[in-house]
Amino acid sequence: MLKNKVVVVGVTGSIAAYKSAQLVSDLVKEGCEVHVIMTENAVNFINPITFETLTGRKCLVDTFDRNFEYSVTHVSLSQKADVFMIAPASANIIGKIANGIADDMLSTMVMAAKCPVLIAPAMNKYMFMNTIVQENIEKLKRHDYRIISPAVGRLACNDTGVGKLPDVDVLIEHIKHEIAHEKDYKGLKVLITAGPTQESLDPVRYITNHSSGKMGYAIAQAASERGAEVVLVSGEVSIKPPIFAECINVKSAEEMFNAVAENLSDSDVVIMAAAVADYTPDSYSDNKIKKSDGDMSISLKRTKDILKYAGEHKADGQIICGFSMETENLVENSRQKLEKKNCDMIAANSIKQSGAGFKTDTNVITLITEDDIKELPLMSKYDAANNILDELMKLKKI
């Protein structure tokens, strides 16, 4: 998704500069063309050779490099960059950009940039909280620079507080959010369910299923990269939520139902990727679990069908997509679900197919609408998510 994107990484004089090496390395692995520009102060913390080795390119340090080629590069690079990220950004570079000062290579190139500029401040907490630094940050925000909030934690100066450079995967998430996709979902609210539900039998035991949440989370990530406002209603999973989605954590089908019902009416697109447990104990009375001669019996009832409820309460222009997991008659059973639950599309997957299903990072999906059946080949859940969003966008525009 970042393949062939031109990313310029600006590194300034902060102890967190060592993390930029990991950032650059990960961006290169993503297939980006990475160019690194360092301030003179940054060179005190990390050697340009590190970046030159990682990128295979000259690391630019100051504007007045005697090599003619570089001075030409600095203008053309500003024009061809897809995104600029300054990480770590010191109070000094923040102050310079906010006040229109361009007295070295990095500040000059930022001033000439046409692309989004992401700034990740990293400094001592007292410096960060300084009112002048804060005013500069507010000014940069007003001028459409994207400020990535520093993390809270133990700082290099032994203080604890705000000012840490966020983890590299968070920085890369921000870049992806900015440039990985065209923003065709901008202005749309997408409601997604993901993961399993847990139905408590007693304080210790529960009924659940093997859902990992990976498919729903991939849809949430792709939709937010495409500009949507995403609400992700998630059962218990062990993966990190996408940072740009509003995540509502639930346990039971009842809680998932309530969270969906609350967010349903103003959602433009609804995608139910959760594996809702089909049954839940039918009462919380003492005789719920009966034990006799070592055997146990439980009285169960069906959980509320959340997708069916959404279909019954479909708002004008709203598009609803359900999932279906089948062991046989994939298309026929999914078509029945499409009709029964009043959906616009069912993303069907066969549990039996290798590379498809709960725990894998890949899936094999068939997209079924009233008039069409589209079989997708084996692909990553992220690519499958984008295919689902493509099809839903087509339905939305009809």
Please select the residue that binds ligand CTP; options are 253, 269, 364, 365, rule is CB under 6 A: 253
The answer to whether 190 contacts ligand CTP (rule: CB under 6 A) is: no
Judged by CB, which is closer to ligand CTP: 135, or 339? Answer: 339
Rounded to a whole number of angstroms, the minimum distance from the CB of residue 275 to ligand CTP is 6
Tell me how far apart the alpha carbons of residues 133 and 137 are, in angstroms, rounded to a whole number.
6
157 has catalytic annotation:
yes
Phi, psi angles (nearest 5°) of residue 164:
-75, 145
The answer to whether 276 contacts ligand CTP (rule: CB under 6 A) is: yes
Judged by CB, which is closer to ligand CTP: 112, or 325? Answer: 325
End-to-end CA distance of the chain: 27
Helix (H) or strand (E) holding 292: strand 289-292
Q: How far is CA 303 from CA 244, 253, 265, 276, 278, in A?
A: 30, 6, 22, 8, 6
230: β partners = 190
**Region of 11-19, 231-239, 268-276, 281-289 interacting with ligand CTP (CB under 6 A):** 268-276
Q: How far is CA 10 from CA 61, 77, 108, 285, 391, in A?
A: 10, 13, 11, 62, 38
Judged by CB, which is closer to ligand CTP: 54, or 320? Answer: 320
Looking at residues 281 to 340 of the shown chain, list those that interact with ligand CTP (rule: CB under 6 A).
Answer: 303-307, 322-325, 337
- Of 32, 59, 115, 157, which one is the catalytic site residue? 157
Judged by CB, which is closer to ligand CTP: 57, or 301? Answer: 301
Cβ neighbors of 326 (< 8 A, separation 6 or more) are 333, 334, 348, 349, 350, 351
Count of residues interacting with ligand CTP (CB under 6 A) = 16
For 220-251, give one letter per residue: b (16+ CB within 10 A) or e.
Answer: bbbbbbbbbbbbbbbbebeeebbebbebbebb
User: DSSP label at 196?
Assistant: B
Looking at residues 51 to 90 of the shown chain, list those that interact with ligand CTP (rule: CB under 6 A).
Answer: none
Query: Sign of the CA dihedral 194, 195, 197, 202?
Result: negative
The answer to whether 250 contacts ligand CTP (rule: CB under 6 A) is: no
The answer to whether 350 contacts ligand CTP (rule: CB under 6 A) is: no
Please select the residue that binds ligand CTP; options are 62, 246, 278, 390, rule is CB under 6 A: 278
The answer to whether 274 contacts ligand CTP (rule: CB under 6 A) is: yes
**Region of 73-81, 143-151, 165-173, 270-278 interacting with ligand CTP (CB under 6 A):** 270-278
- Residue in the shown chain whose Cβ atom is closest to ligand CTP: 306
Q: What radius of gyration do the chain's Cα atoms show?
A: 25
Active site residues: 157
Residues in contact with ligand CTP by CB under 6 A are 193, 253, 272, 274, 276, 278, 303-307, 322-325, 337
